[in-house]
Amino acid sequence: MLPKRLLYAAALCVPLIAVQAGAQTASAPAAPAAASNESLVPAVVAALTPGAAAMSGPVRNIVLVHGAFVDGSSWNGVIVELQKKGYNVSAVQNPLTSLADDADAVRQVLSRQTGPTLLVGHSWGGTVITEAGADAPNVVGLVYIAAIAPDVGESTSDVLKHGPTMPINASIAPDADGYLWLDPAKYHDDFAADVPESQTRVLSAGEQPIAAKAFSDPVTKAAWKSKPSWYMVATKDRAVSPDLEQWMAKRIGATVISIPSSHLAPVSHAVEVAVAIDLAAQNLNKP
């Protein structure tokens, strides 16, 4: 049986009310009142209006990196919104077999982008973009969505030690081949509570397991050390502690946005996620 911390690590995957540039504290976010996607959009716009460091050329390419228990289709709603805005959008299909394998999958997609590119990771995808984005010359910024952001030499499991055990931990189990699976009966409540159950049943049917060993792979380089970053905290997350998300955002010096979402924000709050990505790109385009 794998250690409970390692099992918890597999819960990582998808994530806007309060914002801070350079994140101030990791105190627990107050539970916000329920709000529609439409009512949250102005908050996202206001949150991300401050300019970031000037970068060369307009950012028109967006590369999206998913986490465990989902595949690239988890970004479908976000892709639709970004394409409406005229972006060239690519969703990576991570093999979820190791950090090196997933980083290579991201690099393959990045190599097909022409011009400046914004790299976006959800959950485990945050670890992947931290590694893959560091040596990619066309990556000009990073967006972390309820995502893990390790430092050099740290693994995903190392980062998770800074936070508490979450409810999803009890819903994950390994198979005989060392892959971690989320219990279909718990997929909705622990992973995507604000997504209709009819939809989470479909997502669960296509669940993608992740190799447990991937969470012990240390990051060899950290893209956030040299590139502007944004971080979306999911305040109703039952997979990654919102306090831990705040702590990571502060450590990497990210602009922070908080959203009343479950872990699977790219599905439950696709509009807000797309608006945040768009505004991050616009900030990078400022002279």
DSSP characters for the chain? ---HHHHHHTT-------EEET----PPPPPPPP--HHHHHHHHHHHH-S-----SS---EEEEE--TT--GGGGHHHHHHHHHTT-EEEE-----S-HHHHHHHHHHHHTT--S-EEEEEETHHHHHHHHHTTT-TTEEEEEEES---PPTT--HHHHHTTS---GGGGGEEE-TTSEEEE-GGGHHHHH-TTS-HHHHHHHHHT---EEGGGGGPPPS--GGGTS-EEEEEETT-SSS-HHHHHHHHHHHT-EEEEE---S-HHHHTHHHHHHHHHHHHHHHH--
User: Would you state the pLDDT for residue 230?
Assistant: 98
Q: Which domains does the chain have, with CATH numbers?
A: 4-41+58-285 (3.40.50.1820)
Tens place of pLDDT per residue across the chain (287 aa): 444 333 333 333 333 433 444 443 343 333 333 334 445 555 554 455 443 333 356 999 999 999 999 999 999 999 999 999 999 999 999 999 999 999 999 999 999 999 999 999 999 999 999 999 999 999 999 999 999 999 999 999 999 999 999 999 999 999 999 999 999 999 999 999 999 999 999 999 999 999 999 999 999 999 999 999 999 999 999 999 999 999 999 999 999 999 999 999 999 999 999 999 998 999 998 87
pLDDT of residue 201: 97
How much is the pTM?
A: 0.84
How high is the pLDDT of residue 162?
95
